[in-house]
Structure 1
Amino acid sequence: MADIHLITPAPWSEYELIDSGDFQKLERFGEFILARPEPQAIWNRSLPDQNWQERAHAIFRRDRQSPERGDWQTTPTMRDPWFVSFRQSGLNLKFKLALTTFKHVGLFPEQADNWVYIHNAIQKLSAQVARPKVLNLFAYTGGASLAARQAGADVTHVDSVKPVISWARENMDHSELDNIRWMVEDAVKFVRREVRRGNQYNGIILDPPAYGRGPDGEKWVLEEHLSDLLKSCADLLDRNNFFFIINLYSLGFSSILLDNLMNQVFGSVPNPEWGELVVTDSFQKRLPLGVFYRFASV
């Protein structure tokens, strides 16, 4: 059994977690600093409130009528949208960021280590497979899809939200990539159809939300549907040359729960890694932002 890993992305010039605490985080994306909610940051801030107020170009304020939505208080110098680049380990990606009503900006920086993992796994697989096939489910704005495509894979990107697919297409164009296959589709339906067709993928990536809706109103509840989806993914994964990554952001899911589930579905796998995705602020407070499990044949 693999030990629990804490995965912290390598230093990235375009991103910095400046401070965290009091259920908030202060982050720099490129030239702009944002303050937004973070339910995991239960400790106290290291910087005084006035410093947060003075430094932030945009501060997210929750709508009193909604636990999810809100709006941004911005300074005159704040641009929306804006762009950041990611250049590490052979990757050269460019992302459009924007201030959304759900506090997100179109990028999850804690995923950076997974992008490098994907890129490296595909380069190794390419010695055995001419063009590795990769499936990215619940793929959002496409960070993992771009990493896989830049490594030379044939990529199928699946998300149920059409505007998010359009955003991912823009990121592909800005990263000077092409030929990603876009599917506005319910992930569960798509995977079941691919299993019936007998299709196989060398790499599968999942970022399922706690709750969600498909394009035709299909209901997704993580605790109810994840096990069956993983079983279908096991049928889709190539038996000889493969990698697999799953990330979960639900506060109720620990990495131990995920490890048990993966062992039940996949059994013994080569090179397993599992644990927490962590970003460390400038005061060395480690902020957990999700759990992951990944393995590869190479």
Structure 2
Amino acid sequence: MAELDIQPKLMIGEGWADFALLDSGDGRKLERYGKHRFIRPDAQALWSPCMPDWQADAEFVPGSDEDGGGRWQYNGPVPREGWELARGDVRFTASCTPFRHLGFFPDMAPVWDWMGERLTSDSARPRAGGDLRPNGANQDEGGPRLRGDASTLNLFGYTGVGTLALSDYGPVTHVDASKKSVAQARVNAELSGMTDRPVRWIVDDAAKFAAREVRRNKRYDGIILDPPKFGRGPDGEVWRLEEHLPNLIADCAQLLDAGSRFLFLTVYAVRMSSLAIAGLLAEALKHLPGTIEHGDLSIREEGENGRLLPTAIFARWKN
């Protein structure tokens, strides 16, 4: 039975060559994406900025509706078609989207690293019954999961930066309801020279896809979910996180077994505790061994005494 660790954890994202959180405060944050600087609203930046003057190439000005809306105000030469960034071997396009994002989520970088560590852990447990992986390869009984051999499922995969990072460890099934996002994920694979990686790019409603995988008796070594608060599937399906997340987690639990390595769930922009989503995982995964942890994702400001800006809550199961 998976054990729930009630003490919260903190996952800290650090900057790298193509990204940095430069400053934050007064409900905003100043970031660098490659050579361009951007200002975006962030309600959790309750403190005062450290820098007296913020110079940025563009700022997202939110609308009056707290659930969305707004526009970009440009002050510098930002390529409207996007520009190329990299983290490690993964290359991808950043762009100013209508939803205030810039084409990927930098706070997920420590999550990608954590999943890679789990997939190369030498403490893997044997897979019950010798179930088949989604790509049809039989799982070895016991022993370590070897780099290049683990199968993972990325639900709400967006533009594929996390998928490409995971593809270094084996086959990945990437699912997103947005044709545009999946198309951009394929472009990012080309930029990275990873078109030959064993990735299934699927445009589908995440909940419907997971339910079909359960009926197919599929198993995965790891699952990552990064669901929105609200969304629509390719056929008009409505997604409301508080209403639909429990059933999706229940289906994901059936896609894991005692030989699987992790499930990682992130939740943004909701009035919810990480302990609540950890409790949801504890209920769904009670048939499995391992540990359930929860806490906050954050990004550290650049500089010696950089503050931590929280970005999301998470719950994760590890085995």
Fold equivalence (TM over 0.5): yes
Q: Which letter maps to 1:23?
A: G
Distance in structure 2 (CA, Å) of the matches to 1:65 and 1:187: 27
Q: Which residue of 2 aligns with 1:165?
A: 182
Q: Which residue of 2 aligns with 1:149?
A: 167
2:270 matches 1:251: yes
Q: Which residue of 2 aligns with 1:121?
A: 118
2:307 matches 1:285: yes
More helix by share: 1
The structure showing larger relative contact order (alpha-carbon pairs under 8 Å, at least 6 residues apart) is 2
Q: Which letter maps to 1:254?
A: S
Specify whether residues 148 and 75 from structure 1 end up closer, same or farther in structure 2 by C-alpha distance, changes over 3 A only: same
Aligned equivalent of 1:24, options 18, 24, 28: 28
CA contact (8 A) 1:137 1:206 kept: yes
Q: Which residue of 2 aligns with 1:133?
A: 151
CA contact (8 A) 2:258 2:289 kept: no
Q: Which residue of 1 aligns with 2:18?
A: 14
Distance in structure 1 (CA, Å) of the matches to 2:66 and 2:270: 19
2:62 matches 1:62: yes
Structure-2-length-normalised TM-score: 0.84
CA contact (8 A) 1:115 1:143 kept: no
2:193 matches 1:176: yes
Name the % identity: 36
Deviation (angstroms), 1:61: 2.0
Structure 1 runs of 4+ off > 4 angstroms? 63-67
Distance in structure 2 (CA, Å) of the matches to 1:278 and 1:293: 14
Q: Which residue of 1 aligns with 2:136?
A: none
Distance in structure 2 (CA, Å) of the matches to 1:157 and 1:69: 28
Residue range with higher mean Cα deviation, 128-137 or 24-33: 128-137
CA contact (8 A) 1:269 1:295 kept: no
Deviation (angstroms), 1:270: 1.7
Distance in structure 2 (CA, Å) of the matches to 1:260 and 1:272: 9
Deviation (angstroms), 1:63: 4.2
Q: Which residue of 1 aligns with 2:86?
A: 85
Distance in structure 2 (CA, Å) of the matches to 1:122 and 1:171: 23
Q: Which residue of 2 aligns with 1:226?
A: 245
Which runs of 5 or more residues in structure 2 are unaligned?
125-142
Distance in structure 1 (CA, Å) of the matches to 2:268 and 2:76: 33
Distance in structure 1 (CA, Å) of the matches to 2:61 and 2:174: 32
Deviation (angstroms), 1:75: 3.3
Distance in structure 2 (CA, Å) of the matches to 1:270 and 1:144: 24
Structure-1-length-normalised TM-score: 0.89
Specify whether residues 275 and 58 from structure 1 end up closer, same or farther in structure 2 by C-alpha distance, changes over 3 A only: same
Cα RMSD after superposing both structures: 2.1
Q: Deviations over 1:74-113 (max 9, x none)?
A: 23432331121112xxxx2112100111111111111000
Deviation (angstroms), 1:65: 7.6
Specify whether residues 271 and 261 from structure 1 end up closer, same or farther in structure 2 by C-alpha distance, changes over 3 A only: closer
How many residues are matched?
288
Q: Which letter maps to 1:249?
A: Y
Distance in structure 1 (CA, Å) of the matches to 2:76 and 2:242: 43
